[in-house]
Structures are given as C-alpha cells and as structure tokens.
Amino acid sequence: MGSILIKNILLDGQPRNVLIEGKRFKSLSAAAGAVAQTVIDGTGKALLPGLYNMHTHAAMTLMRGYGDDTPLERWLEDYIWPYEAQLSSEDFHRGYELANREMAETGTVFFNDMYFSLEEAIDVVAKSGLRAALGLVVLDGHTHSIGPEVLDFLKTWKDPTGGRIRFTLAPHSIYTVSGAKLVRIARAARENGLPIHMHLAETRTEVSNCIRDHGMRPVAYLDSLGLLGPDIILAHCVHVNEEEADILAERQVTIVHCPCSNMKLGSGIFPYEHLIKAGCRITLGTDGASSSNNLDLREAMKFAALLSKVSASPDLLSASAVLEWATVRAAEAFGIDGGVIAEGKLADGILVDLNNVKMQPCYNLVSNFVYSADSSCIAGVLCDGKLIYQR
C-alpha cells in the first residue's frame, strides 16, 4: 500500500501534515516525523478538494473550436454529428487523452462522460489516474450509438483501475431517443444498478417541440415515462419553471449546470433562484470542449457564480456554495466516498500555489480559488491516493 506525506500544507487555515495511506486520507494532523514512501513539501500551498465535472463529452476535445458561433440545433446537425461519424477508434483515443490531461491539469479528479468508443475511454482513464463515470450512449440514427449487447460486455468486464471507473446508461436527449426506448433504457439501468445520464430542457426549441409532440414540457414528459428519480443525472435544465423545479427536487434528481456551454450556444440562463429555493441537488459540468471550449471546471464555477449574481442576486450563490456544487454534491450523486478533505475519505485534492500572484493577498482561500485563480495556480492534483499531476 502506497503512502504520501504532505508536510506543512495549509488546510482549514492551519499548516498541517497530511498523511495518505492507500487510497484514503489517514490523518490530517500527522506528526512532523511521520514516515511515508513519498514526502511532498506543502509549504506555500493549500489543500482543496478535487473537482467533479458532472457533464462532458471528453473526446470532443477533437472538435474544440470547430463550428463555433452557431446555435445548438444547427451546430449539432451541420457540424458535430457529420464530424463524429468519420472518427476512428484511434481518433477517439487521442481525444480522450487530450481531455484527461486537460482535466488533470485544471484540478478535476472525476468526470461524468457521455461519449463514444468505450474501450478507448477505459484505456485512457486507466492510464490517466482520474475517476470517471463512462456513459453508454444511445442516440437514434448515430453511427456510434450502442446496442443492448453492451450490457453483456459490462457483466463480464473486469475493472483494471481498482474502482475508479463506473458506468451510466446515457440516452442523449428526449429529441434524439424515442419515449418507448427511454422507458426500456430506464428499466435496463435500474435492473443493472446503473445511473442514467441525459440532456434535458437545454433550449427553448426543445421545450416547444416537446409540447408539440407530447402535449407537455420536458420535465413532465420524463416524469410521465417514469424516468425521474435519485438515479438520474440531467444536464442543463435551463428551461425549467418553478413547478418543474419542485418536481425535480421531490424526485431527488441530480441537475448539472453547464454555464459556459449554455452561454456560448445561446441556450439561455439557468434558473438559479427556482432550483436553489426548491432544494434541488445541483452540480457543475463543462459540457464538451466543442461548446465550452475547455474542460476547466474551476472556470465553470466562476461563470456560474457570476451569472447567478447578474440573473438573480449577488448573495444567492457564494464561492463556497459553488465549490460544494463542484465537489461534494457530485460525489453524493454517485455515492463516491469523497468530495471533501476529511480523514477516512478518498484521498483526492488540489494543491493550490499560494505564491502565485493571482492568489495574493489571500483573505479567503475559496473566494480566491473561484474568482481569481486560473490553472497556473494548481501546483498538483491527487486522485485515489496518487499524485496524478504536478506542475
């Protein structure tokens, strides 16, 4: 079992010696003379929890900057789907490598993915050291959409990472997967103990088409199909009214807010007030690098906090609350025993460089990290008890 001692690192306002044994934090106040296989000097650094990117399409790093400045429907149909149809396994592998590297360098320790070429994704995550929930994507008419045989693959699959990889069933959306198929996917997910990950209520067009085709808005439609529950993760939820916010809270759904993607595609403004007041579980995502245009979740925290102030009020979403969206709320959604720095929890975390000019002066560490920092302030990243990135 490996061990790491981080000496003299700032944690909860105090310099501490943090001891990691195996995958978990053994002690947050170890003696200076404690012994470990690896010793890291934490002087001038602070320890914060690692970030959870709850909605992305990792290998879309291949399409970063491609088809920019077009609305969602045209962007998907004219640019993204035709491009994806031509991608080979090797292409996907390169896209996943680029994504995993970018996420590790920007403080992400977990990503909830919805993309193609599962075997390439598994291979890259096994090597990168990150945690991931890999979505088995269903998208009617798409070249890379999976079929029912993938569930047989999962039954015999042996995890090469000791628990860092998990799976979801990922029907793309209500406008790309039929209602009957959504019901079958939900049944298969629940029989196999897999969460469901999909897009919902991203644009006004999606809402008006749903009313036209099904006589109800997207939240009511998914509820009528029996999909809403604590095991579903819904990306976007931009066009959700107060009544729908109450339904999402009551069903204990996990919502993923992707502020950069919503702004860039002109999808709309997240209904912060409705969803926070209803008591919904809210987490954060970047969405794919072709719509955000990076996988930097710290940047998503800043945009979410700023947008909440413009659209609602300056005190609705604090820096510490948005950090919880980006960490512990997401860990809870997946039942991962992490998302916080605490003894016994999984040893994931970010070593923040306090000597970086963007971190000085430091009246409030979390506030600086959310509003002022950039990835140059990240000196190292721990995941599953290993140092997966060091600047």
Chain residues binding Zn ion by CB under 5 A are: 287
The CA distance from 51 to 54, in Å, is: 9
CB of 288 to Zn ion, least distance (A): 6
CB of 235 to Zn ion, least distance (A): 5
CB of 75 to Zn ion, least distance (A): 12
Cβ distance to Zn ion smaller for residue 287 or 384:
287
Cβ distance to Zn ion smaller for residue 10 or 237:
237
CB of 342 to Zn ion, least distance (A): 31
CB of 244 to Zn ion, least distance (A): 20
Cβ distance to Zn ion smaller for residue 292 or 356:
292
**171: cis peptide before it, omega within 30°?**
no
Cβ distance to Zn ion smaller for residue 231 or 287:
287
CB of 233 to Zn ion, least distance (A): 11
Taking every pair of C-alpha atoms in the chain, what is the biggest distance, in angstroms? Answer: 69
Cβ distance to Zn ion smaller for residue 23 or 264:
264
Closest CA to 179 of 135, 141, 214: 214
CB of 384 to Zn ion, least distance (A): 26
The CA distance from 84 to 107, in Å, is: 28
In this chain, which residue has its C-beta nearest to Zn ion?
A: 287
CB of 99 to Zn ion, least distance (A): 13
Paired tokens of 135: 């979505």
CB of 137 to Zn ion, least distance (A): 11
Instruction: State the SS3 of the chain.
Output: CCEEEEEEEEECCEEEEEEEECCEEEECCCCCCCCCCEEEECCCEEEECCEEEEEECHHHHHHCCCCCCCCHHHHHHHHHHHHHHCCCHHHHHHHHHHHHHHHHHCCEEEEEEEECCHHHHHHHHHHHCCEEEEEEEECCCCCCCCCCHHHHHHHHCCCCCCCCEEEEEEECCCCCCCHHHHHHHHHHHHHCCCCEEEEECCCHHHHHHHHHHHCCCHHHHHHHCCCCCCCEEEEECCCCCHHHHHHHHHCCCEEEECHHHHHHCCCCCCCHHHHHHHCCEEEECCCCHHHHCCCCHHHHHHHHHHHHHHHCCCCCCCHHHHHHHCCHHHHHHHCCCCCCCCCCCECCEEEEECCCHHHCCCCCHHHHHHHHCCHHHEEEEEECCEEEEEC
Contact 126, 160 (CB under 8 A): yes
CB of 256 to Zn ion, least distance (A): 9
Cβ distance to Zn ion smaller for residue 120 or 287:
287
Cβ distance to Zn ion smaller for residue 286 or 327:
286
Cβ distance to Zn ion smaller for residue 102 or 287:
287
Paired tokens of 56: 């992305």
Cβ distance to Zn ion smaller for residue 18 or 304:
304
Single-letter code of the amino acid located at 238: V
Cβ distance to Zn ion smaller for residue 169 or 347:
169
